[in-house]
């Protein structure tokens, strides 16, 4: 009997370990493809160390967001049911965390010496946030929990994976764009620009989350089309930011 118990315990630990690894890879690998894409858009790639710090900061942001959003829910939720105010609060918390951690770890460093750098670091922080968030979602997914149906979990929740990554990239990209546009301006102008960026990112993030709920049955793809349009705009803005030069 003791041998059987030992085997069952070993199997449990192996299954749990495999589940953790698969969830981590499931959240990380798709995001790394995005990171590779944005990195190759920059003719002068940022130092790998700072890219790693920005990415790590985004991942840390998920742990902080879980705690803070739960606290916000105690005030804004009805019972355990999120209200419209809850979704607005959650969007604001996530955008402020991504920006705050990126600023603390990377943006205030001397290596952030070009307008495009700020945009790149904010997008990297967003991808780190997405990787950790998607890994947690994948880990606790019901399909994944039942007999390790990994493929079913990925396929049945593809909108969650794609949508979360796009929305975080879009929102943080907008904040990065305001940082880039105000790079050569006064401190006061920078505060105004970034403030507007955070507000815009929060509004778009909250609207996306709410539209997914409202349009889930009738027009489930419309929110994704809207986000893609903004992503295309960010790509065009990315090219514009590359040509910014110090004022004479």
**For 107-152, how does the pLDDT look when each residue is reduced to its tens digit (9 = 90+)?**
999 888 888 889 989 999 998 998 888 877 776 664 444 444 444 4
Question: Does the pLDDT at position 218 exceed 70?
Answer: no
Tally the residues of the chain.
248
Q: How far apart are CA 226 and CA 62, in angstroms?
A: 25
Q: Tell whether 248 is covered by a domain.
A: no
Are 170 and 98 spatial neighbours (Cβ–Cβ below 8 Å)? no
For residues 52 and 66, give the distance between their C-alpha atoms in angstroms, rounded to a whole number.
22
Does a structural domain hold residue 134? yes
78, β-bridge pairs: 81
pLDDT digits (tens, 9 = 90+) for 45-104: 678 889 889 999 999 999 999 899 989 988 888 887 888 899 999 999 999 999 999 999
CA nearest 50: which of 7, 140, 10, 110? 110
**What's the confidence (pLDDT) of residue 113?**
85
How many structural domains does the chain have? Answer: 1
Q: What integer pLDDT is reported at residue 48 of this predicted model?
A: 84
Distance between the two ends of the chain, CA-based, in angstroms? 82
* pLDDT for res 64: 94
**Distance separating alpha carbons of residues 90 and 163, to the nearest angstrom:** 16
Confidence of residue 216 (pLDDT cuts 50, 70, 90): low
Which of residues 19 and 102 earns the better pLDDT score?
Answer: 102
Domain membership flag for residue 247? no
Establish if 218 belongs to a structural domain: yes
Q: Residue 36, SS3?
A: helix
Residue 147 covered by a domain? yes
Mean predicted confidence (pLDDT) in 154-161: 49
- Cα separation, 179 vs 195, in Å, equals 10
Pairwise CA distance, residues 153 & 194, whole Å: 38
Which residues form the domain of 79?
2-242
Tokens for 120?
Answer: 């790149």
Show contacts of 149-155: CB within 8 Å, 24+ apart. 150/22, 150/26, 153/26, 154/26
Average pLDDT taken over every residue of the chain: 78
């Amino acid at each position: 009997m003791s041998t059987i118990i030992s085997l069952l315990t070993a199997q449990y630990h192996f299954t749990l370990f495999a589940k953790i690894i698969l969830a981590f890879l499931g959240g990380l690998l798709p995001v790394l493809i995005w990171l590779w894409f944005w990195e190759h858009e920059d003719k002068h790639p940022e130092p790998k160390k700072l890219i790693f710090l920005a990415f790590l900061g985004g991942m840390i942001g998920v742990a902080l967001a879980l705690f803070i959003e739960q606290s916000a829910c105690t005030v804004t939720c009805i019972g355990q049911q999120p209200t419209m105010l809850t979704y607005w609060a959650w969007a604001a918390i996530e955008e402020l965390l991504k920006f705050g951690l990126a600023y603390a770890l990377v943006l205030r460093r001397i290596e952030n010496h070009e307008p495009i750098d700020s945009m790149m670091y904010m997008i990297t922080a967003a991808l780190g946030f997405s990787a950790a968030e998607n890994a947690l979602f994948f880990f606790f997914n019901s399909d994944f929990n039942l007999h390790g149906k990994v493929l079913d979990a990925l396929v049945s929740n593809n909108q969650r994976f794609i949508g979360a990554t796009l929305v975080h990239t879009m929102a943080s990209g907008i904040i990065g764009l305001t940082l880039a546009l105000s790079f050569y301006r006064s401190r006061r102008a920078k505060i105004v620009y970034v403030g507007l960026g955070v507000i815009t990112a929060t509004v778009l993030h909250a609207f996306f989350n709410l539209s997914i709920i409202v349009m889930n049955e009738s027009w489930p793809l419309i929110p994704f089309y809207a986000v893609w349009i903004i992503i295309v705009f960010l790509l065009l803005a990315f090219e514009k930011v590359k040509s910014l030069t110090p004022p004479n």
